[in-house]
Every structure is written in structure tokens, then in C-alpha cells.
Amino acid sequence: MNTATSWGVGLALAALGVAGCSKSSESGHAAPAPPPSAAPPPASTAAAPPTPAVEVPAYAPRKVTAGFTAEIYTPAFEIVRDKGELGLTYEEAMQRCVSSGKALCTDAQWSRACEADPALAKIATWTASGTGAGRFVTRGGGDAGCRARDVVDGGDKSPSRAAVCCDRAVAIKTSNKNQAFVMTAAKRLIDYEAALRAKDELAMQTLYDEKVSFGGKELAVGELLKLHRKDWKQFPDQWALFDTCTVEIKKITTDKGPDSKLQGDCRTVFRRGGGTYIAMQRLIWGGLGMKLQTIGDASARAQAPDGTAIEEREVKERVGLLLAAD
């Protein structure tokens, strides 16, 4: 199990105060020093020409309606791009969006927005989505239109890459096209994320069942809230962002008869202790009020049968769905 996945449960307590993301180390190297015998180059008498400005198309704020792109449902959200956000690292781009009350668009949000307005593809931009190992998805800016996509190091800076921002909205991957089902699932996830972000214990108490399985250990809600407080104090920089969640209804049989639970396996961006990680998080709701009963990692799915890392495999599956719909 990789570090990100093994931390998945503890990181679920992260408050999404997306105050920044960790910088990945940049891949550039310092130029080698000249040999001792080399004469210094003559000083230039002419000023270096200014670096030409990179022209990136303007993009006014617009509302994107809720709907499906292939099997991925995305709630309605607003998307916007401001001037002055070019040439930033992933961390800087995320902070730029957060300062305006939004976050970087996820890969799924970007695809949904580009489906509605292909002009978005003219702008190369970071997304909130990552594939692990400090690498994050970029979209747009190429000749492939809405299919343009790359994965780059989080510390990379491109003078033509923007920070396009979106309202927070959790994308739902499901074969169930029932509108009420997907809207309910998306709302439960974003409500929990928002409570974590605000460190709102009262809101979290209303979302949790009386007892919650946390990392395989059953805790009373008061005990879990106590863990929240301790974790926030120890790691004040932490946050969590639910990217795309595979959601399904699980039919079970209990001593009281048949029952149904809502399960979400979420690709989640975590920050903790100065690092940003990608891991799979499992959340399960059940009971009369469909309260949150289980918080855990999806370690059983940490590796595909062919040995491919779950991060790489699931991103490829999701992107295949999105691109097939373009």
C-alpha cells in the first residue's frame, strides 16, 4: 500500500480550507559551472529583449448546468478565469482560486464545461485532479480541443497555463441515471466536505450516525469529534477535496431484515503535514436517516490485478469515459 492510501482514513478528517497545496520538486537543474580555464564571457552592452507576453483568451464567468458526461454526473457550478494567474505552480493556482471562494476545477468539471462551451479548450489550465507522486492533470491548450489533456509535475510553471476556477462540486460516477439518486449522492458528499472545510462540529454531528466505523474501529460520535479536534490541532494545514466518487447502493441483510446502504469510493486530494496526496476514500451511509456510518480507505482496491497502481488505472478509466463522450 502506498503512503497516500495508508493515510487515507486519517486524512478524511482533513478540513478543506484549501489554503494551498504542496509544491512538487521542480525538474530543472542548475547549469554546470564553466571549467577553471574558461574565460568569462564578455559583458553584454545591450539590454536583453523583454519576454513576449503570452496571449491567453479571455473567458467570462459562466454557469454550467448539471448533467451526465458518459457515466459521470456533475452538479451545476460556475466556472471563471481571471487575468494575472498565468505561470503558476499547482499550489499557487489552487490558492488563486481559493482566494475567490472557489477551487481549481476537477478533471470531470472541466470536461463538463468544455462540452457546454468548446471555447474553453483554447485555455491550458491546471485541474484539481491528480494521479499521485506529485503529478496533476492539465486540460486544454492543444490542438485536440476538449480532448487535450496532460499530466505534469505540480511544481511545473508554464507561462501559458492558467488557473481556471470552479465552484466546488463532486462528480458522481455511476450507471444509475436516476436524477434523484445522483443529486442526493452528490449533496451528501459536498455537505460532508463543506463541514470538514469549516471545521463545523455541529454540522458534522448531524451528518454522522450515533456510531461510526473509523479505520475499522467503531467510535461513538463524541469520540470521533474529539479525534477531529486533535487532528486539526496537530495538522492545521490539512484539507480534503472529493474529486470523483463511484457511488452505488449496497443491498445487505441484517438481523432486522433487508437494508440498503449508499457507498461512495472517492478519488480524493489530501493535504497533510506539508504534502499533497491522492488516495481512495470509502464512505458509507445507512440507517433510517442515511447517516454516515463508515469512513475508511479503499485499500482493497489499492492495486489492480495487473499490478497497475490504482491511481493510474482509475484515472485512465475515468478519462476514457470522458473522452469517449467528446
Residue 284 lies in a domain: yes
- pLDDT tens by residue, 125-177: 999 999 888 999 999 998 899 999 999 999 999 999 999 999 999 999 998 88
How far from each other are the two terminal CA atoms of the chain, in whole angstroms? 34
Q: Does residue 222 sit in the same domain as residue 138? A: no
Structural domain includes residue 50: no
Q: Quick one: 99 and 176 in the same domain?
A: no
* Amino acid (1-letter code) at residue 127: T
**Whether residue 132 sits in one domain with residue 207:** no
| CATH number, domain with residue 194 | 3.10.450.50
- Residue 114 has what DSSP assignment? H
- Whether the CB-CB separation of 141 and 55 falls below 8 Å is answered with no
pLDDT over threshold 60, residue 13: no
Do 158 and 191 belong together in one domain?
no
CA distance 114 to 260: 36
Query: Residue 84 carries which DSSP code?
Result: T
Question: Does 43 map to a domain?
Answer: no
178: its cell numbers: 436516476
pLDDT value of position 308 = 40
* Counted domains in the chain: 2
Decide if 26 is inside a domain: no
Residue 72 near residue 173, CB atoms below 8 Å? yes
Asked if 163 and 177 sit in the same domain, the reply is no
Per-residue pLDDT at 245: 97
309 domain residue, yes or no: no
Q: What is the mean pLDDT of residues 266-294?
A: 90
Tell how many helices (H) and how many strands (E) occur in the chain.
Answer: 8, 17
175 and 300 assigned to the same domain: yes
- AA letter at 10: G
82 and 7 within one domain: no
Residue 228 placed within a domain = yes
User: Domain span at residue 237?
Assistant: 3-16+170-304
pLDDT: which is higher, 35 or 133: 133
pLDDT at 193: 95
Q: Kindly state whether residues 143 and 78 are assigned to the same domain.
A: yes
List the single range of 18-32, 33-47, 144-158, 248-262 with lowest mean pLDDT: 18-32
Percent share of the chain, pLDDT over 70: 74
In a domain, 56, yes or no: no
Looking at every residue in the chain, the average pLDDT score rounds to 80
Kindly report the backbone phi and psi dihedral angles of residue 179, in degrees, each rounded to the nearest multiple of 5, phi listed first: -60, -40
Residue that wins the pLDDT comparison between 239 and 209:
209
Whether residue 122 is contained in a domain is answered as: yes
pLDDT band at residue 273, thresholds of 50, 70 and 90? confident
Q: 127 and 245 share a domain?
A: no
- CB-based burial label for 178 (10 Å; 0-12, 13-18, 19+): exposed
Q: Are 176 and 287 members of one domain?
A: yes
Is there a single domain that holds both residue 253 and residue 206? Answer: yes
Q: Mark whether 180 and 251 lie in a shared domain.
A: yes
Average pLDDT of 261-290? 90
Contact 203/300 with Cβ under 8 angstroms? Answer: no
Q: In whole angstroms, what is the distance from residue 43 CA to residue 290 CA? A: 73
265: nearest Cα among 284, 245, 288: 245
CATH number of the domain enclosing 72: 3.10.100.10
